[in-house]
Amino acid sequence: MPHKITLTGSATGPLREYDRYVAFDMREKGSPSAPKGLKKSTFISYTVFVAKKAFNKTGLTKKSIMHEKILIQGEPTLDIPIDECPGEIGVICFQITVLPNKNDKEKNGSDATKEPKKEDSAPSQEQKNTESSKQEEEQAQAPVSQPVAKEEKKEVETVQTEALVQEKKNETVLKPKTLPNQPKGTQDHVNFEDIIVPEEFLKTRPNPQKTQKVIDFVKRTGRLDEPLTIEKGSNVLKDGYRRYIVAKTVKMNKLPVIYVSVDHYMQEDN
């Protein structure tokens, strides 16, 4: 009766292909202890012969067979030529199986332990149905006046906003126009080039000392001491020629003015 042999491990040499079979080498440790007086066996080398059809079913390749752990079941043979069987013992393989790696086992074990936790934490279908039914009951029992209340709230907010806008408009109308850092009584600003100086003003020469005082005031405060008086509509200078000269000297672009009408001067003349 032929002897059976079982080997486990990885290939120690490259895969060799023949006509209908493949061959590769394996190695196993020898006996740890030998009878007294005999040499200890460190390891035994095998050459395994597997039919191509059986080998292809395992999914192994020339590269992976060097790294995968495999199980060989077969019987020893001494009929293989020595050039095809470099191992100490030839093995005719009846069955070849790829064994799972240790890392894969640990990973599968950890996944198996995690799955029950997920199932425990996930709500059951009955709980979901119960929650959905509760929500439907609460929606059914909720007062229908909620949308109406929201609409009323929006209307109140709209009315309040309109009231605030109207109040700001009223404040704008009631408050007099104030111009920051301008002489008291200023009604508007007019470009220097737009002011028309009458001939009678151009013929006069303002007092230099008083003019210098106004220049010093402008340099100190950044504004004129009083606004110029001009005719409304025509921008003809009626009063403030000295301040006009100062503005020209210090190169002011806009001048503070007070408007007067033509009728005003006609009444004064009468």
Residue pLDDT, tens place only, 238-269 = 999 999 999 999 999 999 999 998 665 555 54
pLDDT at residue 23 is higher than 90: yes
What residue type is 169 in one-letter code? K
CA distance 54 to 209: 122
Residue pLDDT, tens place only, 107-149 = 666 665 555 554 444 556 666 666 766 676 666 555 544 554 5
**More confident call, 170 vs 58:** 58
Tokens representing 258 are 């007070």
Q: Nearest 5°: phi and psi at 50? A: -125, 140
Strand order in 16-17's β-sheet? 5-9, 69-77, 89-99, 43-51, 21-29, 16-17
Q: What is the pLDDT of residue 93?
A: 95
Q: What is the pLDDT of residue 217?
A: 94
Nearest Cα residue to 91 out of 6, 19, 11, 31: 6
pLDDT at residue 27 is higher than 60: yes
pLDDT at residue 210 is higher than 90: yes
Q: What is the pLDDT of residue 174?
A: 42
Give all domains of the chain, ordered by start, each with its CATH number: 5-31+41-102 (2.40.50.1040), 188-269 (3.90.1530.10)
